[in-house]
Amino acid sequence: MAVVIRRAIPADADIIAGYAGKLVAQHREYNPKRFTCLANHEQMAEYYSGQTASPNAVVLVAELNGKVVGFAYIQFEARNYAALLESAAWLHDIFVDETARGTNIGKSLIEASAKASKELGADKLMLLAATENRFAQELFRQAGFRETMAEMMLSLD
């Protein structure tokens, strides 16, 4: 079982968009009021393809025996006044195909994301995890993440 974590290239965008779509669907199942689908498959593919060339972002893919089975998307912010953050990278997306779960690929993607974040100039890696996604929260805790904020929502309907 050969696992390789590498930077994504534009040719990976279609499979990444498929995984991103699954991630969106998962979050919409958790809370459709909070999580909205902002793009279709083609738009997601175009977005991630563009991010592979961004100087402030890194898109990683995980390959298992030569097949892409997961991805991570990191974006660097030198300063974010609203979040009171400086020199931070955000792990916006991380997803591992159902067939490859339990193989430590998620852990490997987190480790590679931390390394890529340092290379972007970050001194911390931030993320948000859906309240309902207990599995991901535990994975992040095991990787050393600690809770710093709690997002709350008031529905105005």
Does 1 have pLDDT greater than 80?
A: no
Query: Which candidate, 138, 116, 143, 123, places its Cα nearest to that of 5?
Result: 116
Q: Which domain holds residue 110?
A: 3-142
Q: Residue with structure tokens 């990787």?
A: 143
Q: In this structure, what token pair is assigned to residue 9?
A: 């290239």
What CATH number does residue 122 fall under? 3.40.630.30
**What is the sign of the dihedral through the CA atoms of 51, 53, 59 and 64?**
positive
Q: What is the pLDDT of residues 56-106, one digit of tens each?
A: 999 999 999 999 999 999 999 999 999 999 999 999 999 999 999 999 999
| DSSP helix/strand/coil, 22 | helix
The total number of structural domains that make up the chain: 1
Answer yes or no: is 70 within a domain: yes
Q: What is the pLDDT of residues 94-131, one digit of tens each?
A: 999 999 999 999 999 999 999 999 999 999 999 999 99
